[in-house]
Amino acid sequence: MPSIQDQISIAANANDNNILVTQGKALCNIPPDAVAVCRLLATGSATGLRARFVISGREEMEDSDVSIANRVPLDPDDIMCDRVAAGPLSRLQIAVRNTTGGALIFFYRVAIDYFPRR
C-alpha cells in the first residue's frame, strides 16, 4: 500500500489549498489504469488546525478539526477519513487552515490501495 507521509508548517491565519502540490508529492494523482481506496490520517502540533479532503473536486471530508496529538499520525487512532474511492486520474487534495495567531505543524499520511482497472 503506497502512502504519502510528511509534515508542513502552516503560518498564522493562513490557508494552504493543497499541501500535496505545495510539497511536490508525485502520488497526488491516481494512475489512468487503476482505481483506489484512500485513507487520510492527520494530527496537529496544537489546537487551531482545520483540514478538508477532496478527491477530484468532490469534498470527502468537510472542514474538520485536527487532533492535537503533536506527532506522526497513527493508524487507526488518527484516521480522519477512511475508505474513500478514487477513480482513474483522480486528483487528491488536502486543504489545511490555521485559525490561530501562530504557526502550527500539520502531520499527515494518505494511504492508498490501488486496484487494477478491468
- pLDDT higher than 90, residue 89: yes
- pLDDT confidence of 24, banded at 50, 70, 90? confident
Q: Which residue has the higher pLDDT, 36 or 117?
A: 36
Find all residues with CB under 8 Å of 86, minimum gap 6, and list them.
Answer: 30, 35, 36, 37, 38, 55, 56, 92, 112
- pLDDT confidence of 43, banded at 50, 70, 90? very high
Place of cell 497526488: 28
Please state whether beta strands 34-44 and 49-55 pair in parallel, antiparallel, or not at all (unpaired).
unpaired
pLDDT of residue 35: 95
- pLDDT confidence of 52, banded at 50, 70, 90? very high
